[in-house]
Structure 1
Amino acid sequence: MHPSLKQFVEYLTVEKRHSPHTVAAYRRDIASFLDAFPGETLYYITTARVREYFLTLQKKGLSTRSSARALSSIKTFFRFLVRENLVETSPVDILESPRLWRKLPGILSLADVEALLNAPDPAVPQGIRDRAMLEVLYATGLRVSELVALKTSNLNLEVGYLRSFGKGDKERVIPMGDAARQQVQLYIQDVRPKYLKNKTSPCLFLTRLGTGMTRQGFWKLIKQYSRQAGVAAPISPHTLRHAFATHLLERGADLRSVQQMLGHSDIATTQIYTHILQGRMRDILDRHHPRA
């Protein structure tokens, strides 16, 4: 690994406390960039050379979205180099990211969500666990990585909230409705002790072997239940996160509160959902404005 890249990876891991997945993405983007300049000193890489690099990627068929991500990674890398006095200036800060069409997430209807939540069999332990996981995901808008990382110590079922640690290990407290609380309580009382089999684990959601549920394992489950429920729309754990945000906004939640519950550091990320607010504002205007 290039010495500067090694330093940067340590910085992301130790100081910024990024997840292994995020660090790996940065490392891939920057390693590919450095491979295009073998044996060259970073100090002498110019803006023109970086433009040529991205033109080459474009000719090779790299998507606009991937190019934008790579440029963002390289900008972060050079800012780190400037901060550490490894280069004098960044050759990439003046480059603009390629324009992206904001793709609105696929949204599940209330009927689809209801069908999905009712798909697990409540007569078997796995069905009780899976229903609890689905209810928590829809009730809180957690990322799937945050869901499977939940510990029993993160819950306060009496008051009705949970603590989650999102990107960058940032903690947030999220309220949890009665439906999710009841399902989680049922799982903790009737299923979790059976899965533990006299062992101990800090993880809230366990497999039948008594180990923590994984992202991949839950991904397979939600695919299975979507087919079982007859949900036609493509579905993933992230789809329930989108449904959580959309259904809140449709019923009058403000964007800032939804931002905090989703754990978005920038409200611009949450604003992808403002198409929902626009329809609601039109309805309010039509009903309440004296000259509408």
Structure 2
Amino acid sequence: MEHLLDEFLLYLRHERGASERTQVTYSTVLHRLLNWAQDRRIKSWQEFTLSDLTEYLNDEKARQVEDRPGGPLHDLSVSTLYLEIAAMKAFFKFCEAEKIIPLNIAENLSLPRRWKELPKALDSNQIDRLLTKPVKMAPKDYCDQAVLELAYSCGLRLSELCGLRLEQLHLEDSFVTVIGKGSKERVVPLGKIAVEILEEYLKLGRPALVKPKSPGNVFLTTRGSKFAPVTLWLRIKNRVRAAGIPESITPHCLRHSFATHLLEHGADLRVIQELLGHASISTTEVYTHVASARLRQVHQRFHPRS
């Protein structure tokens, strides 16, 4: 059983081009499933049934409660449950394709509706406060300003911002080439303000950050090195705090704001999908629920008969 898992992980890496994060997550989930099966004397993947997978998920819920002594009783989060099921679906689909099992038993496992945990988006006033330049600009401030502008104006992920290289910027033609999940490339337009902010950073900020061994990344730390996602997120959080934004936001908040504001202003969902680099339109559809929720809030607040 272990050997088949190894084959699947190789398939993920070399044929599916899955990100390292996806590979690690799926490996963790499936090895937990393997250990669970061995404890129940299930000797092969062919022996698994849909009932077994459902029982495993229920046991995972119970395990989470045990791992939080004294904590509140609660189910797995929607996102965690989504990953558990997605990993099993992908693995058993692989087994079916390789004719190891006659049918993908995980196909009928229900994915949760991810929109139950709606992504948070900042409103336009909060965005304006966040993107307001500091009175005094040091080199790192020019860097932070350009990061924030790209995150909101282009909807880039933290990992994409960290990995962005100089040759991916095409300021004269107002677009940026982004290497997203699974090494998939997409082209995202740059607005006039974003171009100006980037030009300012490349002229006044980045030269002061470059060191002899600095890489060709667009954004550099004060030590002249490439950003790690967690380090870049801490820099963004400092600006969020300075802007007086009270919400506890996530690293994806500016990306969510980018998509939500496009949708609210009439952008087509397929266009937003392409700009975000989503493989499936269902992933992008979450923003229709975000926009609807915001409309309901406005209606309840301002309509006299709400």
TM class by smaller structure: 0.7 to 0.9
Q: How many residues align?
A: 281
Measured against aligned partners, the alpha-carbon deviations of 1:49-70 in whole angstroms (never above 9, x if no partner) come to 2232223223444515223321
- 1:269 corresponds, among 283, 294, 297, to 283
Given that 2:164 and 2:217 are in contact with CA atoms closer than 8 Å, whether structure 1 keeps it comes out as yes
Residue in 2 aligned with 1:95?
A: 109
Given that 1:26 and 1:73 are in contact with CA atoms closer than 8 Å, whether structure 2 keeps it comes out as yes
Change over 3 Å in CA distance of 1:54–1:262 after alignment to 2? same
Matched, 1:3 2:33: no
Given that 1:122 and 1:128 are in contact with CA atoms closer than 8 Å, whether structure 2 keeps it comes out as no
Change over 3 Å in CA distance of 1:279–1:78 after alignment to 2? closer
Residue in 1 aligned with 2:45?
A: 42
Amino acid at match of 2:3: P
Distance, in Å, in 2 between the alignment partners of 1:29 and 1:59 is 15
Shift of 1:264: 1.4
Residue in 2 aligned with 1:53?
A: 56
Residue in 2 aligned with 1:235?
A: 249
Residue in 1 aligned with 2:87?
A: 73
Aligned to 1:163, the other structure's residue is in SS state strand
Amino acid at match of 1:256: R
Shift of 1:96: 2.8
Change over 3 Å in CA distance of 1:97–1:272 after alignment to 2? closer
Residue in 2 aligned with 1:25?
A: 25
Distance, in Å, in 2 between the alignment partners of 1:31 and 1:95 is 19
Distance, in Å, in 2 between the alignment partners of 1:51 and 1:253 is 39
Q: Which structure 2 residue ranges, 5 or more long, are not aligned? A: 66-74, 296-306
- 137-146 or 66-75: which moved more? 66-75
Shift of 1:104: 2.0
Given that 2:12 and 2:18 are in contact with CA atoms closer than 8 Å, whether structure 1 keeps it comes out as yes
Distance, in Å, in 2 between the alignment partners of 1:121 and 1:15 is 50
Residue in 2 aligned with 1:127?
A: 141
RMSD across aligned C-alpha pairs, in angstroms?
A: 2.3
Output aligned runs, 1:101-120, within 5 Å: 102-118=116-132, 120=134
Given that 1:161 and 1:175 are in contact with CA atoms closer than 8 Å, whether structure 2 keeps it comes out as yes
Q: Which structure 1 residue ranges, 5 or more long, are not aligned? A: 281-292
Shift of 1:122: 4.6
- 92-101 or 129-138: which moved more? 92-101
Amino acid at match of 2:28: R
Identity of aligned residues (%): 35
Distance, in Å, in 2 between the alignment partners of 1:206 and 1:99 is 38
Distance, in Å, in 1 between the alignment partners of 2:77 and 2:293 is 28
Given that 1:64 and 1:98 are in contact with CA atoms closer than 8 Å, whether structure 2 keeps it comes out as no
